[in-house]
Structure 1
Amino acid sequence: MQEALESLLERLGCRPTGRPVALSGGDMAAVYRLGTDAGELVIKRDVPERLAGEAEGLRALRSAGTDLVVPEVWAEEGGWLIMEALDPVPPTSAARRTLAEGLRALHAATSAPHGWPRDNACGATPQPNAPLDDGRAFQRERRLRPLTRACHRRGLLDDALRARLEAVALGLEAWLPDAPACLVHGDLWAGNVLYTSRGPALIDPAVYRHFREVDLAMLTLFGAPSPAFLEAYWDGRPPDDWPRREALFQLYPLLNHLLLFGGSYRAAVERALARAEAA
């Protein structure tokens, strides 16, 4: 273990009781679990700016006052993030409903504007969050257009596909009503949800304030939430144009995956784009 980490643990008043164990799923950061005399900890090693954004997001989610479990941040310093460890258990139908109700409560509290006081990251991609009053402008200028241009510069999008994405971004006001901004996890794929003995938990956030569909669309992109989950979240009343909204808010994470992992995601971008273009 590096000297800086040992010094940080000492200042936190805890002493390791074993060696750190590498955890899976750390595509962007090195992640370890460590037993200490003060409890089990998860330790991340990454670029300091990304860890600072994650720590801020965890604290924001913890302070939101929902029934969802969010790991407590013990320290974030010098490229290290130390937080409490959570022990996963198999999910149940009741736990999935609790997740839905917790997300609905998280999204119920709204405030202006769309965005966040600081930029953070979604995976390894810098995530611009400069606030805008109109959510459609935020989706266009802070999400769709920057990643469309970045993918085009790298040759991952041809001119025709870029033009179609730009047209969707420029046409949002024609069909998507503006809505008050709520706190969103920002990267809520199934791997960032843990089911624990204390209830469903959220990890690895990329928080900002925006449309609530951001989190729902991410959950359905890389997983299939149960009908009970969707029924509980929407309280039986999903928006009439949910399929189109779902596709729109899946474009940003798909473009991010295209940028990070290459052309294998282009077909998925095209499929979501076709659904978002539907009149």
Structure 2
Amino acid sequence: MLAADDRMIVLPWLDDVGATPAAAERFGRELAALHANSADEFGAPWAGWIAELPLDNTLTPGPWSQWYAERRLAPYLPQAAPHLGRDGIRLLEQVIDRIDTLAGPPEPPARTHGDLWSGNILWTPERATLIDPAAHAGHRETDLAMLTLFGAPHLNRIRAAYNETHPLADGWPTRIPLHQLHHLLIHVVLFGSGYRSQILTAATAALEPDHPSSGT
């Protein structure tokens, strides 16, 4: 950061040269190191935003499953309802009802980017640099699920390097759809029914963890 005040932030210009296999592996290791830097509680001590929608970052000791249901899923269902329909809302409510069993082994709060799709990664000559975060203490699998949602270059290398540095809990691929639901809900609220099919597919996969998402 070069300068900042109440209305402006000035950042240096970064050249995006594209991802290389070596840069992807370094990114996987560095993301794992970021996530290993645990926080005390889930959430953040500031009000959050994603696009123009507010994020409830109320701090809580956990478990993450309840925090996710109460802060990242349930608040957006009323706005998404006209696009999802009664059956769609019922499917999301089933996920919320079963969240404790679907969430997998307990994890400590991890410092996450919070909106880690490929467009928020700049591949500079030295390393991957993350931009435009919705930073909070969350579940580390969420950042990895976001990389899967819209695709990231050399994703398998990123995952392998991550897992070597900070191994993921057993069954993590089957939980990818669960972790994608928040961002898909955001897309439904912002962009409408064009994302209905995708979120219903993810919700169905989250409820049937023995059938991993095709994005794994």
TM-score strictly above 0.5? yes
**Which amino acid counterpart does residue 158 of structure 1 have in structure 2?**
G
Secondary structure (helix, strand or coil) at the match of 1:148 reads helix
CA distance in 1, matches of 2:177, 2:5: 35
1:211-235 Cα distance to aligned partner (Å, 9 max, x none):
0011101000011443221111112
Structure 1 residue 198, shift from structure 2 partner: 2.6
Q: Could you tell me whether the CA contact under 8 Å between 1:107 and 1:182 is conserved in 2?
A: yes
CA distance in 2, matches of 1:264, 1:174: 29
| Unmatched segments (≥5 aa) in structure 1 | 1-71
Q: Could you tell me whether the CA contact under 8 Å between 1:187 and 1:205 is conserved in 2?
A: yes
**Which amino acid counterpart does residue 126 of structure 2 have in structure 1?**
R
Indicate yes or no: 2:46 matched with 1:129: no
Identical counterparts, % of pairs: 35
TM-score, normalised with respect to structure 2: 0.89
Indicate yes or no: 2:159 matched with 1:230: yes
Aligned to 2:176: 246
Structure 1 residue 238, shift from structure 2 partner: 4.2
Aligned to 1:81: 9
1:122-176 Cα distance to aligned partner (Å, 9 max, x none):
1121111001211111101000111122211xx1121221122112112121242
Indicate yes or no: 2:90 matched with 1:163: yes
Q: Could you tell me whether the CA contact under 8 Å between 1:89 and 1:197 is conserved in 2?
A: yes
CA 1:90 to 1:174, structure 2 compared with 1: closer, same or farther past 3 Å? closer
CA distance in 2, matches of 1:217, 1:73: 32
Secondary structure (helix, strand or coil) at the match of 1:101 reads helix
Higher strand share: 1
Which of the two has higher C-alpha Rg?
Answer: 1
Structure 1 residue 249, shift from structure 2 partner: 0.7
Q: Could you tell me whether the CA contact under 8 Å between 1:116 and 1:129 is conserved in 2?
A: yes
Secondary structure (helix, strand or coil) at the match of 2:32 reads helix
Aligned to 1:213: 141
Runs of 4+ in 1 over 4 A off after TM superposition: none
| Higher RCO (C-alpha under 8 Å, 6+ residues apart) | 2
Aligned to 2:27: 99
How many residues align? The count is: 205
Q: Could you tell me whether the CA contact under 8 Å between 2:147 and 2:155 is conserved in 1?
A: no
Higher helix share: 2
| Unmatched segments (≥5 aa) in structure 2 | 210-216
Indicate yes or no: 2:203 matched with 1:276: no
Structure 1 residue 73, shift from structure 2 partner: 5.2
Structure 1 residue 94, shift from structure 2 partner: 0.6
